[in-house]
Chains A and B, each alone.
Chain A
Amino acid sequence: MNDDEDLELQALQRRLDDAFQSTRPRTGFEDELWSKMQARRPVWVRVGDFLSGLFGTIREVPAVPAAAVAVVLVVALGIGIIARSGIHVGGGGSSPSSEFTSTSLGASRNQGTFGRLPVPAAATSVPPKVANPSSDVAAGSPANSYAGPVNLAWAGQLPANLANAPVYRYTEPSAADADQFASSIGASRQAGTAGLPGSYAGSGFVLGVTGSISAFAREPSYAITPDRSTLPPPGPTPVATADAYLAAHSLVPAWPYTVTTANAADVVRVLYLRQFDLPGGGRAYLVDRTGERYGIEVDLRNGQPLQALGPMPLYLDVAVYPIISGDQAVRSALATSPNRSASNVPTVQLTNVDLAYALAIAGDHSFYEPVFVFSGTFTQNGVAYVKRVIVPAVGP
């Protein structure tokens, strides 16, 4: 096998890893099946579970006053930060759907506080991988990502302390919201379809819109596919072609981003990596549950658009929360390596940490929350890996 073939097979393995890891049942299936299984259990077992759940709730009650204190603090901090950051403060009394217009898609509004936050999926578990290379299209990841157990050590420099950071919240879009989004880019719902996911068609393209998919932590998204008979001619560069394609469909992101490209087989992927503004003028990338940056992806073949996939523009409410110190973050990161005594577990020196944003899907409302992404590289059996550890930045 020559080098090209070898590389091609490795790329195929990575795509298979991604395919298997991102193929998950539809939203709700996990809960439905679990309910069915519980319904088949003997009554006395279910009663026992109910009682233990009740006692668990009672034990959690003392935590509420502390949360209330935090809420007051968050509101006070939030008002100051928002005033400086230029985040749009919308009218609190109007509903998101009534304000949903093409000109204000993706806007943010301050609504005070969100109370206790769910933990981002990225910080709870990373799906195990086999050979575990990250996607070719990942930005800034020269080595394969590693999800196995490791011993961790910290050998980096702590980031400048940031006392607080915005948390963004969106309301799960309804079918009407999806219809309005589709309409804003010139598409209308295909006959015989209803609800979400939604199918739409416009002049020379079709559009699909999904709601949040908790199984692999994705926000409501769209995929737009051009009619192959009406493809525009290739632009001078992949980025120029992707820019033009997004602009032609009013899909140029309203949020900050950086652009990068990656090749996989004969497809060039142009990535618009999403960022969030931080207090003081900095920005933090949005990362998925493995710590990879993401945003809008435009795939091109032979210089022409194949498909674009991106987050559906949504209103984001914003509240500012205090975040943990760098020292606390390091302790949390190191605490994720419980196998210190195992001899066959590699030791990884974490040498870098970035503040980023990760998605926490939680029913009707989901959140983009600040997280610390620690990373370090190591070699095992001649293969270079990057290990990432994601730690929630908002304190408990």
Chain B
Amino acid sequence: MLADRPPFEDLYRDFLGRIYAYVRAQVTSSADAEDITAQVFMNAYQAYGRFEARNTTPAAWLFRIARNATLDHFRAHGRRERLRRTIEHQPVSEHDPAGMAEERIQYRALLAHVARLPERQRDAISLRHSGLSFEEVGVLMSCTEDAAKMLYHRALKALRESARAEMA
């Protein structure tokens, strides 16, 4: 129903940053994150006429599109490329202080650890900290709310171990 649907511009303004952050936590370059985020909103813009607010929340709808776009990106680049990029991804480089300044502000180092988690754990962390409820995370990941909670907590512990290992 049209009356249930906020203007797309509102959605764009409210969710652009969150979607970007979600995507950025999955991929290893801000350029890729921008490309995927652009694709997400292009797709959402075209599909907004079919969005039914009574069936899902705008957040869940947009994050589903974002999740699919990110998976498409990985498929297009191939698993090998993804693995290479993940392995090559290093913490903040001292050779790029400007990028470092921005990354320092943007907590890039932590998100780099998130990006190295197994796919489902990464997804659970990213969706949850993008503001979705466990119920919404479960729906998007095709599991129950309780399973989403368990997955999230396992991911959190894995993330802690990853961060510890780097500091050691």
Alpha-carbon separation in the docked complex, A22 to B157 (Å): 22
Given known A215-B17, A309-B101, contact A26–B156 (CB-CB < 8 A): no
Q: Is the CB of B102 within 8 A of A25?
A: no
Fill in one digit per residue for B22-47: 1 if any A CB lies within 8 Å of its CB, else 0: 10110000100110011001100100
Name the residue in B17, B108, B167 with the highest tally of chain A Cβ atoms < 10 Å from its Cβ. Answer: B17
Q: Is the CB of B20 within 8 A of A23?
A: yes
Cβ < 8 Å to B, chain A residues 23-67: 23-26, 29-30, 33-34, 36-37, 40
Q: Is the CB of B20 within 8 A of A221?
A: no
Q: Is the CB of B106 within 8 A of A24?
A: yes
Q: Is the CB of A197 within 8 A of B107?
A: no
Contact of A12 among B25, B130, B156 (CB under 8 A): B156
Alpha-carbon separation in the docked complex, A174 to B25 (Å): 30
Interface residue stretch chosen among A124-132, A360-368, A369-377: A124-132
Name the residue in B42, B98, B100 with the highest tally of chain A Cβ atoms < 10 Å from its Cβ. Answer: B98
Instruction: Report the interface size class on chain A.
Output: 35 or more
Name the residue in B12, B100, B111, B157 with the highest tally of chain A Cβ atoms < 10 Å from its Cβ. Answer: B100
Q: Is the CB of A225 within 8 A of B97?
A: yes
Alpha-carbon separation in the docked complex, A391 to B104 (Å): 29
Q: Is the CB of B110 within 8 A of A19?
A: yes
Given known A22-B107, A25-B17, contact A9–B101 (CB-CB < 8 A): no
Contact of A127 among B17, B41, B42 (CB under 8 A): B17
Contact of A200 among B45, B94, B97, B102 (CB under 8 A): B97
Is B159 interfacial (CB-CB < 8 Å)? yes
Question: Closest B-chain residue to A29, C-beta based?
Answer: B34
Number of A-B contacts (CB under 8 A): 142
Please give, as numbers and ranges, the residues of chain B lying within 8 Å of A218 by CB-CB distance. 105
Q: Is the CB of A129 within 8 A of B98?
A: no
Contact of B97 among A12, A25, A207, A265 (CB under 8 A): A207
Cβ < 8 Å to B, chain A residues 114-131: 127-130
Question: Closest A-chain residue to B100, C-beta based?
Answer: A208
Is B140 interfacial (CB-CB < 8 Å)? no
Q: Is the CB of B100 within 8 A of A225?
A: yes
Please give, as numbers and ranges, the residues of chain A lying within 8 Å of B130 by CB-CB distance. 20
Closest Cβ–Cβ distance, residue A276 to chain B (whole Å): 22
Is A201 interfacial (CB-CB < 8 Å)? yes
Q: Is the CB of A37 within 8 A of B45?
A: yes
Given known A22-B106, A218-B105, contact A40–B167 (CB-CB < 8 A): no
Q: Is the CB of B100 within 8 A of A23?
A: no
Alpha-carbon separation in the docked complex, A157 to B34 (Å): 47
Name the residue in A13, A20, A29 with the highest tally of chain B Cβ atoms < 10 Å from its Cβ. Answer: A20
Given known A23-B106, A25-B37, A130-B131, contact A16–B97 (CB-CB < 8 A): no
Please give, as numbers and ranges, the residues of chain A lying within 8 Å of B108 by CB-CB distance. 23
Q: Is the CB of B104 within 8 A of A20?
A: no
Tell me the A residues contacting B by CB distance below 8 Å. Answer: 8-9, 12-13, 15-26, 29-30, 33-34, 36-37, 40, 127-130, 190, 193, 196-201, 206-210, 213, 215-216, 218, 221-223, 225, 227, 265-266, 307, 309
Complex A-B, nearest 10 residue pairs according to Cβ-Cβ distance, in ascending order: A208-B101, A19-B107, A223-B101, A197-B98, A208-B97, A199-B98, A206-B97, A23-B21, A20-B129, A208-B98
Tell me the B residues contacting A by CB distance below 8 Å. Answer: 12, 16-18, 20-22, 24-25, 30, 33-34, 37-38, 41-42, 45, 94, 96-102, 104-108, 110-111, 114, 125-126, 128-131, 156-157, 159-160, 163, 167
Given contacts A23-B108, A129-B131, A199-B97, 5 further A-B contacts (CB under 8 A): A16-B129, A33-B16, A130-B129, A208-B101, A307-B104
